[in-house]
């Protein structure tokens, strides 16, 4: 996912309701600023990738993320491990980088499985 796509998703995750492209544009805080057409293009790309849903309200579509930020993070991690030449080694390197608190949380989660 590109950085602009990530920024648009961040805006949608922060929203408490579905947002119109203009709402997303207004909430974006990136430099240099982007146009309404660019935001609309990014939202359409995210929709085609299945990362957002949309609903037509009047003349405009309103957009919502299809997953929570945590669910998307997990999906990205799964894709990264699957793309590794040796997924077990990649997982080991990942675990080596966890903090003590994160390691404890991982242990608790694994015990529940």
**What residue ranges do the domains of the chain occupy?**
3-65, 69-112
What is d(CA 9, CA 72) in angstroms, rounded to the nearest whole number?
10
Q: Could you tell me if 17 and 57 are in contact, meaning their C-beta atoms sit under 8 angstroms apart?
A: no
Helix (DSSP H) and strand (DSSP E) numbers for the chain = 6, 2
CA angle, 17 as apex, 11 and 19 as ends, to 5°? 55
pLDDT by residue for the chain (113 residues), tens only, comes to: 688 999 999 999 998 899 999 999 999 988 888 999 999 999 999 999 999 999 999 999 999 999 999 999 999 999 999 999 999 999 999 999 999 999 999 999 999 98
Q: Let me know if domain 3-65 sits in CATH 3.40.640.10.
A: no
């Amino acid at each position: 996912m590109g950085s602009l796509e990530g920024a648009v998703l961040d805006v949608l995750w922060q929203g408490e309701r579905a947002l119109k492209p203009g709402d997303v544009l207004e909430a974006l805080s990136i430099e240099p600023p982007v146009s309404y057409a660019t935001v609309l293009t990014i939202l359409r790309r995210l929709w085609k990738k299945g990362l957002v849903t949309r609903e037509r309200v009047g003349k405009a579509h309103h957009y919502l993320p299809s997953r929570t930020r945590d669910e998307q993070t997990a999906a990205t991690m799964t894709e990264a491990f699957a793309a590794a030449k040796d997924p077990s080694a990649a997982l080991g390197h990942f675990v080596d980088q966890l903090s003590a608190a994160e390691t404890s949380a991982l242990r608790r989660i694994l015990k529940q499985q």
